[in-house]
Chain A
Amino acid sequence: MSTQGEVTQLLLAWNSGNQAALEQLMPLIYNELHRLASSCLRWERPDHTIEATALVNEAYLKLIDQNQVQWQNRTHFFCIAARIMRRILVQYARDRKAEKRGGGAQKVSLEKVILLAEERNVDIVALDLALNLLAQNDPRKSQLVELRFFSGLTFEEVANVLGISVITAKRDWALAKAWLHRELRKDQNHEDPM
């Protein structure tokens, strides 16, 4: 079976309740995102920002047979992709910290995404750890932040994916933001006592 056929079938299987399908889907999508990321990075013009979500969109078009899946499956794909994108970015941010900004010029776009986060005062690696902590207490809120922050899903889309009302999604978002802010600034104060 072609990769597209395989991914489409797995997505449909996962959507009808087969959890094992998700395990098989993850590496296929991960590989495609990684491949797209490195090819985009290689050809990218310096003034041209590749956004994380543009990569996910492109992966979606390549991996999913549009005739077979409906809108809901599309949202579910973005749900998996948000998690994978988070992994790719966090890994990149970790490597970058380890190399102290080495890494060569071909990784310009992931660099731009990380810089964008830093400009907005978000440390991706610290956010990732805080999201893991939040997930122990309240997995739904952690996933909601993942979908909103890493994939840019609207409240309506997130509510649909998580099977909750839009009002609940907005409340979850408020508490999750407060909780994460408290957690992250605590770390910052710890590292940088001023």
Chain B
Amino acid sequence: MKTQCKEDSNNYWQMLENIFYNVLSCPMEQRQAYLKKACAHNLKLYKDIESLLQAYEKAQGEGFLAFSLNQKYLG
């Protein structure tokens, strides 16, 4: 049971990663449509990725973790 659970969560994370990277490589105006299509029938995954994409944009805007503690630019 536990192993099955672990496998499921690995699969979920793997799916999330792939879609997240694909969305980022899409032009801005196509992202929403791509995300909807990629997460068809999986609302949880859709919301999860959507919130990560929002967090990503905010992180970039704020310069979150843009510098290491020795002040090197990380991007």
The answer to whether A174 has its CB under 8 Å from any CB of chain B is: yes
Q: Is the CB of B70 within 8 A of A178?
A: no
Which listed segment binds B: A10-18, A26-34, A63-71, A146-154?
A146-154
Q: In the complex, A122→B63 CA distance in Å?
A: 11
The answer to whether B34 has its CB under 8 Å from any CB of chain A is: no
> Interface residue count for A (Cβ, 8 Å)?
31
Q: Is the CB of B65 within 8 A of A145?
A: yes
Set of chain B residues within 8 Å of A173, measured between Cβ atoms? 74-75
Using known A-B contacts A149-B65, A180-B65, A182-B52, determine if residue A175 contacts B71 with beta carbons closer than 8 Å. no
The answer to whether B24 has its CB under 8 Å from any CB of chain A is: yes
**Residue in A152, A180, A182 whose beta carbon sits within 8 Å of that of B69 in the complex:** A152
Q: Is the CB of B64 within 8 A of A121?
A: yes
Sorting the interface of chain B by its residue count into under 10, 10 to 19, 20 to 34 or 35 or more gives 20 to 34
Q: Is the CB of B65 within 8 A of A178?
A: no
Q: In the complex, A52→B69 CA distance in Å?
A: 7
> A residues touching B (Cβ–Cβ < 8 Å)?
51-54, 85, 89, 113, 116-117, 120-122, 137-138, 145, 148-152, 171, 173-175, 177-182, 185
- Can you report 15 A-B residue pairs in the complex whose CB atoms are below 8 A from each other? A53-B68, A53-B69, A53-B70, A121-B62, A138-B13, A148-B68, A149-B69, A152-B70, A171-B21, A174-B20, A180-B65, A181-B62, A182-B55, A185-B55, A185-B58
